[in-house]
């Protein structure tokens, strides 16, 4: 199964690879090793596109007592920060880095009502840069949850990622674990929780969206 955000690119690359293979057949001799190398390279690019936009079905067990990971990836930072965009207060920031090999579907960490959803233009620093959370192109979403209050997450573009897709709309109710958006070709998701949160993860942990318990 593939994510809907990849359908256009999958079709485009399928057509390009098909044309490339046909043109190589026409232009190069059958005995040419270069032809075979170029054809294999084209196919590998197409396979990578398919792999990147994969969206395997997950058995997500919604639990109102837990906060689940909003993304697949590696926890690269857990620290107390001054969150100045929305809360204007100190929060615990959990940063999850998504490599190009990770599944890039983003998911709602809790159920509730969307109070805030905003897109920001910005730079394209590497995703693990300390300032990328506030300087890079990004979207910020706040969900009002019955148990945890206001929970915020932020999708952050990186050096390669230049396309953030955010489905959250203000005043809409969302369900924990459901698809909240997509970041194309590697980036980062930050989760902002209260300082007294009982975290279940550590720096260096691999997490899975909708499955791994954050708090």
The set of long-range contacts for 77-83, using a CB threshold of 8 Å and a minimum separation of 24, is 77/128, 77/130, 77/203, 78/199, 78/201, 78/202, 78/203, 80/195, 81/192, 83/152, 83/192
d(CA 63, CA 81): 27
Instruction: Find tokens 């599944």 and name the residue.
Output: 103
Nearest to 155 by CA among 184, 195, 115: 184
DSSP assignment of 99-151, as one string?
A: -TTS--EEE-SS-EEEEEEEEE--B---TTSTTHHHHBSEEEEEEEETTTEEE
Q: Is 42 an annotated catalytic residue?
A: no
d(CA 140, CA 153): 6
| Cα dihedral across residues 183, 189, 193, 197: positive or negative | positive
Q: Which two tokens stand for residue 16?
A: 């390009």
Contact between 63 and 210 under an 8 Å Cβ cutoff? The reply is no
DSSP assignment of 193-215, as one string?
A: E-TT------TT-EE-TTTSB--
Q: Catalytic residue among 77, 187, 194, 215, which?
A: 187
The catalytic residue positions are 187
């Amino acid at each position: 199964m593939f994510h809907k955000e990849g359908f256009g690119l999958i079709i485009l690359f399928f057509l390009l690879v098909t044309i490339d293979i046909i043109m190589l057949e026409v232009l190069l001799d059958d005995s040419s090793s270069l032809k075979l190398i170029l054809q294999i390279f084209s196919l590998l690019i197409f396979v990578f596109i398919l792999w990147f936009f994969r969206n395997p079905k997950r058995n997500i067990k919604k639990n109102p007592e837990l906060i689940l990971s909003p993304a697949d990836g590696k926890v690269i930072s857990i620290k107390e920060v001054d969150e100045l965009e929305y809360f204007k207060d100190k929060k615990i920031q959990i940063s999850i880095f998504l490599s190009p090999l990770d599944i890039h579907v983003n998911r709602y960490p809790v159920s509730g009502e969307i109070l805030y959803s905003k897109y920001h233009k910005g730079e394209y620093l590497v995703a693990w840069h300390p300032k990328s959370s506030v300087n890079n192109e990004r979207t910020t979403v706040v969900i009002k949850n019955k148990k945890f209050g206001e929970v915020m997450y932020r999708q952050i573009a990186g050096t390669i990622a230049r396309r953030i897709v955010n489905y959250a709309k203000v005043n809409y109710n969302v369900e924990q674990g459901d698809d909240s958006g997509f970041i194309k070709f590697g980036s980062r998701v930050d989760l902002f929780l209260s300082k007294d949160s009982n975290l279940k993860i550590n720096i260096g942990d691999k997490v899975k969206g909708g499955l791994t318990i954050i708090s």
